Amino acid sequence: MSDYFKNRRVVVTGGAGFLGSYVIEALRERGCKNILVPQIQDYNLVNLDDIIRMYEDMKPDIVIHLAAVVGGIGANRAHPGQFFYENLMMGVQLIEQARIRNIEKFVAIGTVCAYPKFTPVPFKEEDIWNGYPEETNAPYGLAKKMLLVQSQAYRDEYGFNSIFLVPVNLYGPRDNFDPQSSHVIPALIKKCVDAVQNGKGYIDCWGTGSASREFIYAQDAAEGILLATEHYNSSEPVNIGTGFEITIKHLAEKIADITDFRGQICWDNANPDGQPKRCLDVSKAQKLFGFKAKTDFAKGLKETIEWYKHKCKTGG
């Protein structure tokens, strides 16, 4: 393990969140002594004055920008304007102020939602501009994709060192299980566990179940992000994923089996499936900075389910 981070001051926006908690742990394991996390109550990173104050207070060498306003299909449909504006303003202003201060490196975290709706599987990085994103999360995906444009433009004009990573859907312990804003894995886990605890004979699921998704364990994603921070210095986007896809129907059945839910899974066709397929080509990450996801999907699901069950028991 390198000592790249040892004497650098690293700001992790969103460091108090789900993915952020794993990035912080991995930074500590690498011997990073100066990890700085702007808390939302102290710095509203949509606000330029707060961004300027954050840079002046924290004086980072590196910024890893994880902070985002995110959610599942329902949250994206309910708040397209908010998701577009807040994600765009956070990222664009953070990069601009980093450039002005000539910081050493900016790591922008994009989203698989930036890919076109009908991207050929597996998604290759060069396909990212070949169409419009899936409609339900297009405002979020496009806001994030503008950071790729900015990263490349700033490298061309100013020689500013920023990179743009495209992680696939995350899952794992500490995920968001709020039914109003959670993604598909925590939503399904909660439905199944709650149904077992309450003796309910069925669960309702959105869509047809035919869409496919790829998932990466959050701890693996954190490792990919830090390997890229250490070793990658180009503005071409790089996928962070596993290269493995599963249909939502099969996923629901798998979670039902692990949670011992034996009831009926009812599909609500009135709600959308979202993007038809999602599976990344992950060869560039392995080639450029040696990243390959390690966590077996079934093992990761079991650990996530056990974490949620423990949280329910302890009320944590």
Q: Which residues are catalytic?
A: 140
Question: Which residues, 6 or more positions from 194, have their beta carbon under 8 angstroms from its beta carbon?
Answer: 200
Could you give the angle at the alpha carbon of 258 between the alpha carbons of 268 and 248, nearest 5°? Answer: 35
- Among 112, 107, 165, which Cα is nearest to 140's? 112
**Which tokens belong to 98?**
């980093």
Side-chain-side CA neighbours of residue 105 (13 Å): 21
> Residue 89's CB: how many other CB atoms inside 10 A?
16
What is the rounded distance in angstroms from the CA atom of residue 46 to the CA atom of residue 86? 6
**How many Å apart are CA 66 and CA 64, to the nearest integer?**
6
Residue 228 near residue 107 (C-beta atoms within 8 A): yes
Task: Specify whether the CB–CB gap between 22 and 225 falls below 8 A.
Answer: no
Q: Where are the beta strands (DSSP E) in 23-136?
A: 34-36, 62-65, 105-109
CA-nearest of 42, 33, 304, 314 to 192 is 304
Nearest partner of 110 among 312, 299, 308, 280, judged by Cα: 280
The sheet carrying 34-36 orders its strands as 34-36, 9-13, 62-65, 105-109, 162-167, 238-240
